[in-house]
Amino acid sequence: MPRIRKELHTVDEVRKNILDISLVVASIIGSLAFLISLYRWYKYGFHIAHVINFFIIVSVIILMIYRSRLSINIKTYMLIFLIMLLTFADVIIYGYLSTTRIYLILIPFICIVYLPFRRTISVYLFTIVGFLIIGYLHHRGILTIPPEYDTRLYVLELYPWIITAVHISVVAVIILLVTRRYIDTYTSLISDLEIAVSERTKELETANKELKVTNEELSGQREELEDAISNLHKTQKQLIQSEKMASLGVLAAGVAHEINNPLNFINGGVVGLESYVHDHLKDHAGDLEPLIEGIQEGVKRASEIVTSLNHYSRHADTPLITCDIHSIIDNCLIMMSNQLKYKVEVQKIFTDKKYTLLCNEGKLHQAVLNILANAEHAIEDKGSIIITTNVVNDKLIITITDTGCGISQENLLRITDPFFTTKDPGKGTGLGLSITYNILQEYNGTLEFESQLGIGTKVIITLPVTDTDQP
Amino acid sequence: MNEKKTLLYVDDEPINLKLFIINFKNKYHVLTAGSGFEGLTLLKSTPETRIVISDMKMPGMNGVEFIRKAKKDFPNMAYFILTGFDITEEIADALNEGIIYKYFRKPFNLKEIELSVEEALMKDKKD
């Protein structure tokens, strides 16, 4: 932008310049013309025209000398006035013989540089109408050419040709210089503009590129944000679940103590009773033993439930050791072999990929056992359980698929809730999967279920592992 | 060996104390205390005590706090915790430092306690 403003400034200078050029040219060549016109004086004697011409040329010279001090407007109107005065005086006196009428061309030419277009037209119309009126006055004989001028002889003279040539030259040189000046200025201005435009274009292209980069960054950030939001949603879900578990843990710890103490009374009483019967009531032992056993079984069951509740109280300090998931699974299968044989066909598809799994072996054992026990319970008559392991992207994935009764969609949402069970009263506590979920959570693992009623259930456990041999 | 060893049981539940005496009176000479403070006083008058078993959650002073104090004055006794809670950090620390020999869960298992106590006494004898 500053460059263009500078160029516009230059155009303004050129306009001023043009006026000065015109004044200089007019003074020099005008003086020459005046000197030549003095020949008329010599040939035809003194005439008022010589005084007017002298006044005009002196005025032009004064204007030229003081050109730098005068304002453009004054110079313009003065110049136009002088041209008109010169031309009209000449035409009034010499009529058609006038040689300065060519200067009339300069009037619109100078006007258009400094005045608005309409004003220029008005000035020009005034000029040309004035010219025609003078012509008409000559035609009517109201104005007459001085008697000493013989028009027929005058046109045969040489000096009018010379004077005309000088006048044409004044006009021609002014037009030439002015036009050249304009062309030069505008050419350089345009080339400067082109440079400016190309620079601007470059700047815009750079800015555009930057914008594109920024845009890409922004869309990248947007994707990251979306990821972060979905992660947050996931985490929130997990937090809600673990919060449930945590408050359950506090509750469980309190309840455990409060129940264990009365259980201790019962237990202590029964133990005492048992030895008392053994020592003193041998005869009644047969009658009393079933009663004692019943109490003992009740204490045992209640105590087991309380013990499993204790899994909800968190133990961040349980030692982590390197676990072999395959031996844990095998171990669980051995423990369950009694329930499984003749009923369930177990198929193992174990990975031989390298990994290191850090967990508490006992807890992991319990987690796997819970799922296997559920799979076995789900199979009513005969069926199969497929156990697979795999290592993908630093995750150990264990799937346990059974051909059991399946879990309904609404129940799927609740199976990890504590105390949720579909088993008959006394057969399940509803804590198995809840505990399993809790254990896996503790080791940053996940527990997922896919199930269809009547077809079977697939349980997917993932656990983070290290030292995998994957890239 | 035939002579009954003296055992102190500390618990804030009187029923637990009563039942403990009934169940263990044949094997040990059982003393009982209803709190850690009572236990400490009792130990001072019966320094022949070999075994101390304490509940964990008691008003005023918990089991581990009581045992830490008792262990200072009577380092040669074998200390146990019998608790209705799962193992806590405090109990785990005491176990690791050797302040307590073992911890039992309520409801108590008679056999387990008897075995552990014998084990502690045997070890004590060897030392």
Please give the pLDDT value at position A242: 66
Residue B107 at interface with chain A, using a CB cutoff of 8 Å: yes
Flag residues of chain A having pLDDT under 70.
Answer: 1-11, 241-246, 248-249, 308-319, 425-428, 470-471
Contact across the interface for B22 and A266, Cβ inside 8 Å: no
Determine the residue of chain A that is closest to B84 in CA distance: A257
| A contact test, residue of B86, B87, B96 with most A CBs within 10 A | B86
Distance of CA A61 to the CA centre of its chain: 67
Nearest chain B Cα to A263, which residue?
Answer: B107
Query: How many angstroms separate the CA of residue A273 from the nearest CA in chain B?
Result: 9
Yes or no, beta carbons of A261 and B84 under 8 Å apart: yes
Q: Does B49 touch chain A (CB under 8 A)?
A: no
- Does A267 sit within 8 Å of B108, measured CB to CB? yes
Give the chain B residue nearest A257 (alpha carbons). Answer: B84
Tell me, what DSSP letter sits at residue A319?
P
Inter-chain touch A261–B92, beta carbons under 8 Å = no
What is the distance, to the nearest Å, from the Cα of residue B107 to the centroid of all Cα atoms in its chain? Answer: 15
Chain A residue with Cα closest to B56: A257
**Chain B residues lying within 8 Å of A310, measured CB to CB:** 85-86
> Which residues make beta-bridge pairs with B52?
B8, B79
Answer whether A95's CB lies under 8 Å from A79's CB.
no
Nearest to B16 among A264, A303, A315 (CB): A264
Q: CA-to-CA distance for A417 and A419, rounded, in angstroms?
A: 6
Among 3.30.565.10, 3.90.1140.10, 2.60.40.10, 3.40.50.1000, name the CATH number for the domain at A315-464.
3.30.565.10
Cβ-defined contact of A256 to B84 (cutoff 8 Å): yes
Cβ–Cβ of B84/A310 closer than 8 Å? no
Cβ contact, residue pair A313, B57, below 8 Å:
no
Contact check, Cβ <8 Å, A272/B19: yes
Nearest to B108 among A264, A310, A317 (CB): A264
Identify the residue with better confidence: A4 or B116.
Answer: B116
Judged by a CB distance cut-off of 8 A, whether residue B20 touches chain A is yes
Nearest CA in chain B to A267: B107
- Chain A residues within an 8 Å CB radius of B85: 253, 256-257, 260, 310
d(CA B87, CA B82): 10
Sign of CA dihedral B93, B95, B100, B106: positive
- Looking at beta carbons, which residues of chain A come within 8 Å of B107? 260, 263-264, 266-268, 299, 303
Q: Is the minimum CB–CB distance between B1 and chain A shorter than 8 Å?
A: no
How far does B113 lie from chain A, in Å, by closest CA?
A: 13
CB–CB contact B19 A265 (8 Å): yes
Alpha-carbon distance of A37 to A49, in angstroms, equals 10
Segment 77-96 of chain B within 8 Å of chain A by CB:
83-87, 89, 92
Nearest CA in chain A to B57: A257
Q: Please, is A321 exposed, middle or buried when counting C-beta atoms within 10 Å of its C-beta (0-12, 13-18, 19+)?
A: exposed
Q: Taking CB atoms and an 8 Å limit, are B86 and A253 in contact across chains? A: yes
Kindly state whether B3 is in contact with chain A, defined as any CB-CB distance less than 8 angstroms.
Answer: no
Q: Is B112 on the interface with A (CB under 8 A)?
A: no
- CATH architecture of the domain with range B5-126: 3-Layer(aba) Sandwich (3.40)
Taking the domains of chain A in order of start, what are their residue ranges? 2-203, 234-311, 315-464
Size of interface A-B (CB pairs under 8 A): 65
Give me the mean pLDDT over the B47-72 stretch: 92
Residue from A70, A69, A68, A38 nearest A54 by CA:
A38
A48-65 and A72-94 helices cross at what angle (nearest 10)? 160
Whether chain A has a CB inside 8 Å of the CB on B15: the answer is yes
Query: Rounded CA gap, A279 and A285, in Å?
Result: 10
A265–B15 CB contact, under 8 Å: yes
Chain A: nearest CA to B39, how far in angstroms?
A: 20
| Rounded Cα gap, residues A315 and A135, in angstroms | 123
Average pLDDT over residues B89-118: 89
Residue B112 in this model has a pLDDT that exceeds 60: yes
What pTM value is reported for the model? 0.44
pLDDT at A427: 65
Give ipTM to 2 decimals: 0.78
DSSP annotation string for A136-167: HHHHTTSS---TT--HHHHTT-SHHHHHHHHH
Closest of B67, B62, B14, B21 to residue B43, by C-alpha: B67
Nearest partner of A366 among A317, A437, A423, A467, judged by Cα: A437
Q: Do A317 and B92 count as a contact with CB atoms less than 8 A apart?
A: yes
pLDDT, tens only, A88-131: 888 888 888 888 888 888 888 888 888 889 989 999 999 999 99
* Residue A25 identity: V
pLDDT at res. A1: 44
What is the per-residue pLDDT for A361? 77
